[in-house]
Chain A
Amino acid sequence: DAKTTQPPSMDCAEGRAANLPCNHSTISGNEYVYWYRQIHSQGPQYIIHGLKNNETNEMASLIITEDRKSSTLILPHATLRDTAVYYCIVRSSGRGYGGSQGNLIFGKGTKLSVKP
Chain B
Amino acid sequence: NAGVTQTPKFRILKIGQSMTLQCAQDMNHNYMYWYRQDPGMGLKLIYYSVGAGITDKGEVPNGYNVSRSTTEDFPLRLELAAPSQTSVYFCASSYSSPYEQYFGPGTRLTVT
B105 / chain A contacts, CB cutoff of 8 Å? 42-43
Of the residues B42, B48, B90, B103, contact of A102 by C-beta under 8 Å: B48
A100 pairs with B45, CB closer than 8 A:
yes
B100 pairs with A102, CB closer than 8 A:
no
Min distance, Cβ B8 to any Cβ of chain A, angstroms = 15
A54 / chain B contacts, CB cutoff of 8 Å? none
Q: Which single residue of chain B is at the shortest CB-CB distance from A96?
A: B98
A97 / chain B contacts, CB cutoff of 8 Å? 31, 50, 98
* Complex CA–CA separation, A46 to B95 (angstroms): 13
Consensus secondary structure, chain A interface: loop
Contact residues of A between 79 and 109, Cβ < 8 Å to B = 89, 91, 93, 97-98, 100-108
Min distance, Cβ B67 to any Cβ of chain A, angstroms = 17
B45 / chain A contacts, CB cutoff of 8 Å? 100, 102-104
Instruction: List A residues at the B interface (Cβ < 8 Å).
Output: 32, 34, 41-46, 49, 89, 91, 93, 97-98, 100-108
A100 pairs with B58, CB closer than 8 A:
yes
B42 pairs with A108, CB closer than 8 A:
yes
A49 / chain B contacts, CB cutoff of 8 Å? 99-100
* Complex CA–CA separation, A89 to B42 (angstroms): 12
Q: Which single residue of chain A is at the shortest CB-CB distance from B47?
A: A102
Instruction: Provide a sorted-by-A list of 13 A–B residue pairs whose CB atoms are within 8 angstroms.
Output: A34-B99, A41-B106, A43-B92, A44-B90, A46-B101, A46-B102, A49-B99, A97-B31, A97-B50, A98-B56, A102-B33, A102-B45, A106-B43
